[in-house]
Chain A
Amino acid sequence: MKILLILCTGVWGAMVLEQARPDLLPTGAILLPLVIVGMLWNRTAGGVFAGGLILVIDWIARPQGLPLLPVVVTFCVVLIVISRAADDPWTGQRTRRLRIPEWMQPTVLVVIGIAVLVGPAMIDQPTSLSAVLPVIGKYAMTALPWSLLLTGLMRLAGEFGFRRLT
């Protein structure tokens, strides 16, 4: 119940911030890293589903083309979590398909998410690179540091025993 309350407040706050200051925070700049870190923190089917559900709700509130983001992000998170699960503890053989350092995983997923958000819009309305660069710049200024901060907090929580590391 406590977790659910924190989750709801965090998601509500992120959506409020993005809607109140769209000039500073483009769509998904705050919510996307939060959802991705939440999914990777939990690493369970319930967590993955909850993350996907939040992204679908965000799309319902602010529809932009097709809702590719929930599908792509959920798929990538499942791949990452499964690749960790594929490590054989008996033989020590690593069958990891995605060789991404753990601390980089949220940021890589955020970059993929941003590409999914910006890409279709560029295809729909072909614009010059100079017109798209400010948008990408805003994402780089907000979403990437935010995701790195959250990743750091996640690592810290692991070190202090607030989160299961395996």
Chain B
Amino acid sequence: MSSPRPTGRLWFAFVGVLLLTTLAVTADRLRLLSGVRVVLHDALSPGRLVIAAISDGGADNRIAADAVDPQQKSVETQLQDLEQQRRQLLIENAQLHNRLRQIEQSNGHSARQEPLAGFDLISARVLSRHGMPVALRQAMIDAGRTHGLTQSELVLDAQGILLDQGIQNGISDGRPVLAGSVVMGRVEQAGRWVSHLLPVTDESFSSRVRLIRRSSRGSQMGNEGILEGTGDACRISGIPDTASVAVGDEVYSADINGLAGPSLYYGTVSVAEFEAAAGWSIHVNPAGTLSVVDHVVIVVPTVDTNRLTAGLQESATGSSR
């Protein structure tokens, strides 16, 4: 004699799955799952990397190569290079104006010093643009703690970085020319092999920025403020009421995670309205769109240890005298 199956338990299991699903959806809406997601993708990464290596460099590259016309790609690359150079010249122009003003104010004494901190770049691929849900295409990169990443580092569009221009133009000692590169977001969660990004448009994104204005007298450094994501664009707060802001002004980083460094590009001012009661209402059209980017670079601050030890030795010698 066979006893009937415990159908009640089966329904109980179904209710359990239903509850679990509801819990997962709620946690996702509350953005509590990004950490779990990074852990899951980390766990899958070893196998994924092995298969990608076996299968001839990955299918994404083939698809991308097939989809884009070489001539069109070349024109696009040239356009991006020119745009990058324009931004660099704009920054340089504004910095020169600023320095000239400072020198004039200090009667010819320049106090310019090389920055103590430098910046390293870590290249990463935006995970699986094909076949990955839209939300994840924009948020996951295949670089993590093993590559030297930590939380809150800035993520830039790799197409804007001119790695060899430094040597050719004698601008610097072969270090990457970062100025004018487009900021895509920030590392929100760094896993072992993959990381989760926070796009500039995200409501929890914020960064110190500086406005640069173009006028008949060249480009001028504007005021500093805080750039915050609004969901689909960005806004700037903290601009003094006395400042002058106009539509078309360009928005660059004031610092990189608190360190003085190259000016990175965020976008252009799309709305600038002044209200007597509330002050400036500034909206920014972000330049970077993660959903169309294949490769990114992460800016990792490094400290010039030689200068630091030299400084420490000097101070030690000074105190011994």
Contact = CB atoms under 8 A, between A and B. Distances in A.
Contact of A81 (B5, B36, B47, B128): B5
B20 A56 contact: yes
Given A63-B136, A81-B10, A20 B55 contact: yes
Interface residues of A, number: 43
Interface stretch (A65-73, A97-105, A106-114, A151-159): A65-73
B13 A48 contact: yes
Contacts of B41: 61
B16 A52 contact: yes
B59 interface: yes
Interface residues of B, number: 42
B51 A20 contact: yes
Contact of A23 (B10, B17, B44, B131): B131
B contact patch SS = helix
B28 interface: yes
Interface of A: 12-13, 15-24, 26-27, 43-46, 48-49, 52-53, 56-57, 59-64, 66-67, 70-71, 74-75, 78, 81-82, 84-85, 89, 166
16 contacts: A13-B47, A16-B47, A21-B59, A26-B131, A45-B9, A49-B16, A52-B17, A53-B20, A57-B40, A60-B24, A61-B40, A63-B28, A63-B136, A74-B13, A74-B14, A81-B5
Interface of B: 1-2, 4-7, 9-14, 16-18, 20-21, 24-25, 28, 33, 36-37, 40-41, 43-44, 47-48, 51-52, 55, 59-60, 63, 128, 130-133, 135-136
